[in-house]
Amino acid sequence: MNVFRRVVLPVAWLLVFAVIAVALVKMAFIDGLKPEDSGPAPMAQVQTPVVAAARATVTNTVQLKATVQNDPAQSVRSTAAGTVVYIYREAGTTVAKGEPVIQVRSEQPREPVVPAESGEGEEPAEAAPQEPVYTYTDVPAPASGKVSELGVLIDQQVTVGEAVGKVDPGTYTVSGQINAAQQFRLLGKPASAEIALTGGPAPFSCPEVTVKNNASDAGASGGGAGTGGGAAGMAAPGAALQLAAAAPAAVAIPGGGEAPQDNGPATGTLSCAVPSGTEVFAGLGATMTVTAGEAKNVITVPLSAVKGSVKEGIVWMASAPAGDAGGAPGAGAPADGPAGGEAAGGPVPEPEQRRVKLGLSDGTKVEVVSGLAEGEQVLEFVPGAAGPAMPGQGAPAMMGG
C-alpha cells in the first residue's frame, strides 16, 4: 500500500499532466499555425435606390382641419358731418344692405346779403343775416343683418367716417390653417370645397374658396424673416423652385419636396363662406377637403426624387456602369440596383442632373409634364438630402449619389 501511494500514484499524476501539456502545446503552436479555409467574402454593398418614371393618376387633394367662425360685424360709418336728427334702426333690429340706419343734418354755410350802398351822411347798413340751409344725409347699412350696436343719440354731433354702430351679418365662414407645401399646391385657386362638420349635418359643398397669405396681415414690411419664404412664393410664382426648397415647412421627404404635415408651420389660411340655410354655430369643428385638379395617365415620379415641387424641378438620372452595353443611362440596371460607387462592370459615373417641368402633386408623387420619358430611372432621393430614418437610428441617414 505504501508503494502505491509513494510510487504508482505520483507517476500516474505525472503522466496526466504530461498529456495535458502536450495537448496545449499542440493546440497553441501546431494547430494555430495552420491556414484556415476562408469562407465567402461579404457581398454587402452600399446602393442608392432608384425608381422608374411610371404613369399614374394624380389628384391634387388637400385635406385640413378647420373651424366654423362668425363673420365679423361691419361698422356703420357716417358719410356726412353734422347732427344726428333721426334714427331709423335701433340696436337689435334687422336691416338690409343699403337701408338707412340714421340721418345726419349738415348746415351749409351761406354768405350774408350785402345791402345797397348808403348816401352821403348816412350810416352804412349792416349785412342782413340769411336763414341757414341744411342738407339731410341718410347713413346706409354696409351689409344685411342685425344692428348689434348703435352708439349715437339724437342731436349728437358726428364727423365723416366716424363709426356710429355695427351690423352683424349673421353669416359663418369655415377657416383652417395651411402650411407652405399645401399653399403651393393651391396656387390654382380651387373653386369649391367639401365640408364635413363634426357632429353636424351631412357634408356640403362650400363655394367661394379663398386662400389668404398670413404675410398680408403684417403689411408690406411683414415679409421678412418672420414670414418665411413660403409666403413670398405666393406673390412671386416665378421663384417657386428656390422657395420650395427654402420654405420653413416640415420637410419630411428628402429632395426639397415638402409633404403636408399637421404640425407644419402655418403660412396661410383657407376659408370659404357657409351657404345660407346651413345650420352651424361658431366653434364647430370641421374637415375641409379641397380638390385643385386631377391629371389622369400622366408620367409621375416620387416627390422625394425631385428638388423643387412647383412648376420646375431637378431630377438625378440613374447612370449605368461604364462597361454596360445597355447604352441609355439606367436602361439595363434593375430598379433596386446600384446607381453609384463601384459595380461589377466597373466604376459608375456621377448621376446626371436633368431639369423637368412639373404639374400636379398629391403630396407623395408629382406629375412630370416634360423632360422625362416613361421608364427612365432616376435616383429615388436627391443626393445629399436627408433620407428616411431607419429603425433605431436617432437621425435620418444622408443619401449619397
**pLDDT tens digit string along 155-171?**
999 999 999 999 999 99
Among candidates 42, 38, 45, which has minimal Cα distance to 344?
45
Segments of the chain with pLDDT less than 70 = 1, 31-46, 112-129, 215-264, 320-349, 385-401
Residue 210 and residue 187: Cα distance in Å, rounded? 11
Residue 164 and residue 156: Cα distance in Å, rounded? 10
Where does the chain hold its CATH 2.40.50.100 domain(s)?
Answer: 75-108+131-168
The separation between CA 296 and the C-alpha centre of its own chain, rounded to angstroms, equals: 24
Residue 354 and residue 330: Cα distance in Å, rounded? 14
pLDDT at position 162: 94
pLDDT at position 172: 92
pLDDT at position 35: 61
C-alpha cell at 29: 503552436
The hierarchical CATH code for the domain 75-108+131-168 is 2.40.50.100
Please check whether residue 271 is in contact with residue 176, taking contact to mean a CB–CB distance below 8 angstroms. yes
This prediction's pTM: 0.57
Output the CA–CA distances (angstroms, integers) from residue 329 to 320, 350, 377, in the order listed. Answer: 5, 11, 8
